[in-house]
Amino acid sequence: MENNSSNFIKNIIKDDLESGKHDHVITRFPPEPNGYLHIGHAKSIILNFGVADDFNGKTNLRFDDTNPLKEDIEFVNSIKEDVKWLGYDWDNLFFASDYFDEMYKRAVLLINKGLAYVDDLNADQIREYRGTLTEPGKDSPYRNRTVEENLELFEKMRSGEFENGAKVLRAKIDMSSPNINLRDPVIYRISHTEHHNTGNKWCIYPMYAFAHPIEDAIEGVTHSICTLEFEDQRPLYDWIVENCEMESKPKQYEFGRLNLTNTVMSKRKLKQLVDEGFVDGWDDPRMPTVSGLRRRGYTPEAIRAFCQEIGVAKTSGVVDSQMLDHFVREDLKLKAPRTMAILNPLKVVITNYPEGEVEWLDAEVNPEVPEMGTRQIPFSREIYIEQDDFMENPPKKYFRLFPGNEVRLKHAYFIKCEEVIKDEAGNVIELRCTYDIETKSGSGFTGRKVKGTLHWVEASQAVSAEFRNYQPLILDKENDEEEEKSFLDRVNPDSVEVLQGFVEPNMKDVKPQDKFQFFRHGYYNVDSKLTVADHLVFNQIVGLKSSFKL
C-alpha cells in the first residue's frame, strides 16, 4: 500500500539509510494482549507497517505478554485478525515470552555488575521511597545487598520460594534522578500465575519497561516507534540496552497518539465498559475498537485513508470523530448499492390500484456507478412509508405527505393522500391514497411537478428487519471548567436506537458485513453477530451528510 506522504519518522529513516547508519529497516507492532485494539492502535499499525513497506523493510508482530494476570489468548487472536483486516501481514510473529530465558540472563548480568538488587519493600513503600517530581527519592534499605546475596535471592524468586509481592528485582540507577523512571525501577516481580504461552514454567515475570527494549534488541529492530507517553521512558530504554550489553542497539522514536472527540482511547476504560455491561462486548458497534468498527461497517480502506490524512506529528492533538466518518462516506459512496428501507413503518393503501396486481419497476443500483446496473423492485396496492414522512397538520414548507397533498414515490408514481385512518387512541395507523398511472417514473411525464419524493417498500413482499442507529457512546465535556468525574458519567444513555421495519425483498439473501446506502437514511451494514436466519439486523455506519469539511 503505497503512501507518498512524508513525516518526521520517514525523514529519520531516510537519513539513516542515506548516512549508512542502517542498510535495512525493521519495525514492529508490539501490543500487549490485555484487550482488543482500538482506532489509536490502528494508527500505529498503519505507521509501523507503512514505513517499513515504503523502504522495503520488514515489520514484526510481537506480543508484549509479560503480565499473565491481564492477558489472554482471546486477545492474541483478535489482534492478529485486526492487523490482517486492516490489510497488513507481518514478516515474523514473536512473543515477549519467547525471550524469558534471555531476559533472565540479562537480569543476572545486571546483578553481577552491581546494577540490580532484590528489594523487600512492598509496592506502597516503593512508591513512597520514589519521591516526587520536585523531591528526590531515597534509597531502599535493601539497596546495598551484596552481589552474592542478590543472586541467591533472585534464584529463590525464580524457584518459587516467595509469595506474590514478597520481593522484586530493581535496577540500581539513580534515586535522585529528575526522571522518576530512572529511580531504581522494578524490572522483575513475582506472580504465581499460569501464562498463556509458557504455562507454569515461570513464577517471576519481567516488567514491560525492562522487557521491551530487550525484545527490540534481540529482533534487531532499527526504529522503535511508540507514542509520546513513552518519551520519558526513553532514557531507561537506552540504559537497559546499554547495560544489558545487547549487541543490537535500537533507538526509540515517539509520535503523537490519536485522540478523537466523543471517544475513549484507553484499553483500561474500554475494558471497564465491557466488564460493567455498558456495551455487549469488545466488538459492540459503538466501541472504537477495530473489531467494533468492523462490525459496525467501517472499512479498512477508510481507516487507512483517515490515518494517512491526519499524519504523524511529534505532538498529540484531538481529531474530530466526524473526520473518520467523512472517509467512510467517501469510500462507500462508490461501493455501496442503493436500496430503500423503512425504519418506522406507516402503511399506505393505494385505493385505485388494482387489487392482487404486482408490477416490477427498474431502479439503479448506484447512480454514481452506472456499471453496477439496475435492480427490480415490486409495487402494488399496499406499501410502507416512513411515519415522519406524513403530518396531518404540517407547518409551512413541509413538502412530504399530508391530507390533499401529492408526492412522488421514488422509482414509482405520484400519490395523493385522500384519507387518514386512526386507532382508538387517535394515532395514525394507515393512509388511504390514490395514484396517477400517467406519472410513472421514467415515463417522461411533465404534466405537473411535486416538491416531495418519498422512499417506500412494497408491503406483501417486504422483508422485516431490525435497524440500529447510533450516537456517540461517550459525550465530551461541555467545557474545560467542568469538574472531571468518572468517564462513566459521560456514557450516553441514548447511544443506540433500535427500530423495527422493512427492506426491499431483494435483501433477503444479504450476508453479514454487506453494506448498503439506504435512501435518505445513510450507510448501513449487516450485523455479523445478531443476524440469523429470518432475522436481519442492520447497523448504521454513518449518516448521509455531515457538516465536516477537510
Which positions are annotated as active-site residues?
Answer: 32, 257, 267
Structure-block grid coordinates of residue 62: 510481537
Q: What is the 3-state secondary structure (H, E, C) of 22-35?
A: CCCCEEEECCCCCC
Beta-bridge partners for 406: 416
H-helix or E-strand containing 497?
A: strand 496-503
Residue in the block written with cell 526513553: 234
Residue in the block written with cell 540490580: 116
Give the orientation angle of helix 300-310 with respect to helix 321-332, to 10 degrees.
130
Q: How many residues are recorded in the chain?
A: 550
Which among 106, 102, 85, 98 has a CA at the least distance from the CA of 30?
98
Distances 112 to 27, 147, 228, 319, 500 between C-alpha atoms, Å: 32, 6, 33, 49, 70
Is the distance from CB of 246 to CB of 221 less than 8 angstroms?
Answer: no
The one-character DSSP state at 245 is T
CA distance 265 to 262: 10
Four-residue CA torsion sign, 13, 17, 21, 25: positive
Report DSSP letters for 149-211, one per residue. Answer: HHHHHHHHHHTT-S-TTS-EEEE-S-TT-SSGGGSS-EEEEE----BTTTBTS-SEEE-HHHH
Which among 101, 84, 5 has a CA at the least distance from the CA of 51?
5
CA 540 to chain CA mean position, Å: 16
Which among 363, 335, 344 has a CA at the least distance from the CA of 525?
335
The amino acid that residue 15 corresponds to is D
β-strands 341-342, 496-503 pairing: antiparallel
Beta-bridge partners for 414: 408, 436
Q: Tell me the three state secondary structure of residue 330.
A: helix
CA distance 389 to 452: 10
The one-character DSSP state at 535 is B
Structure-block grid coordinates of residue 339: 436500496
Name 370's Cβ contacts closer than 8 Å, sequence gap at least 6: 364
